[in-house]
Amino acid sequence: SNVQTDIDQIETKINSSASTLSDRALDNSNDIQDLLDSVRLALIIIAAIMLVLTFLGFLFSIFGMQFLVYILVIIGWILVAGTFILCGIFLLLHNVTADTCVAMNQWVQNPTSHTALDDILPCVDNATAQETLLRSKEVTSQLVNVINQVITNVSNINFSPNFVPLYYNQSGPLMPTLCNPFNSDFTNRVCSAGEVDLSNATQVWQNYVCHVSRSGICTTTGRLTPAFYNQMAAAVNVSYGLSHYGPFLVDLEDCTFVRQTFSDISRDHCPGLRRYSEWIYVGLVLVSAAVMLSLVFWVIYGRERRHRVYTKAHMPK
């Protein structure tokens, strides 16, 4: 009952932490993806419209279509204003990226201090995380001890037919016991000779499963009935899961894994993000300035061309 209670407590804590982290991560990921998709679509549309606008303005100016040039000038000024607004958005994005990188770096360097990321990432304190890890080790150790007691006191003893239900005609080579990965103080333990590891215990024990009759008695050589084997395999799988994935889940719970991820992002990706976002908004400024100058030159060229036509028409012959 104590083992079952500990398992239930660990399951509740892990499910709660995993659910909260998953929901927060999914919400943040969706928000970021929506923003990036919107900005990308806006950039594509603005670039296409400006390219068409520049080409048409060039043609209309050459052919002297002054009225159409003025219409394009009006549209062009609207687009220039929109591009400057988009440039401001990217400047804001650049600053947000820089601030986020700084916040991540501060959070990594000072895990106990209150930072801006504390409201986004719900992390439990280290004491709770270590308690969860200790509980998982305790449950694993208790499960291994229970399994070994069954092997030692039931499966590896040749009971007489009078000892029902312990007797099921056990026979053959003795089963190896299961390796307990932890000492009594829950430090890591090296397996002894003759013990099987949690990772391959079920495969080894398959060699000790006998065929049974309808009454559940072994009819062939073996130390385990299929029913006993299935129960022990289930217990081994639980023990292996707690032993193998427990530390990783605890790292998720106290944000050690997230802290390492943020450290990698801050070191490997933040410089590039800041640099490329700066390139984008600087490029938008240059494009806006270039289109603005093109608009001015269209008007000047159109007036100059009209002036030449007027002068040529009124020149004395």
Phi, psi of 82 (to 5 degrees): -65, -35
Q: Contacts by 184-187 with C-beta closer than 8 Å and gap 24+?
A: 186/134, 186/137, 186/138, 186/141
- pLDDT of 214 > 80? The answer is yes
Residue 1 binned pLDDT confidence (cut-offs 50, 70, 90):
very low
What does the pLDDT read at residue 122?
Answer: 63
Pair 6, 139: CB distance under 8 Å: yes
Q: Where are the beta strands (DSSP E) in 63-214?
A: none
Least confident piece of the model among 101-105, 183-187, 194-198, 208-212: 101-105
Closest CA to 165 of 156, 154, 173, 176: 154
What does the pLDDT read at residue 282?
Answer: 80
Percent of the chain with pLDDT over 90: 10
- pLDDT of 198 > 80? The answer is yes
289 or 146, which is more confident: 146
- pLDDT of 117 > 90? The answer is no
Q: What are the start-end ranges of the H helices in the chain?
A: 2-62, 66-109, 126-150, 201-205, 226-253, 256-268, 270-313
In tens, the pLDDT along 88-115 reads: 887 887 788 788 888 777 777 776 666 6
122 or 3, which is more confident: 122
- Both structure tokens of 234: 């289930």
In tens, the pLDDT along 132-164 reads: 778 888 888 888 999 999 999 988 998 888 887
Pair 205, 233: CB distance under 8 Å: yes
This prediction's pTM: 0.50
d(CA 144, CA 236): 8
206 or 58, which is more confident: 206
- pLDDT of 51 > 50? The answer is yes
Residue in the structure block whose two tokens are 């092997």: 151
- What is the chain's mean pLDDT, rounded? 78
In tens, the pLDDT along 224-276 reads: 999 889 888 888 888 888 887 777 777 666 677 777 777 888 788 788 777 87
What does the pLDDT read at residue 18?
Answer: 60
Q: How far is CA 113 from CA 97, 104, 116, in A?
A: 21, 12, 10
What does the pLDDT read at residue 308?
Answer: 66
Contacts of 65 (CB under 8 A, 6+ apart): none
* 104 strand-pairing partners: none
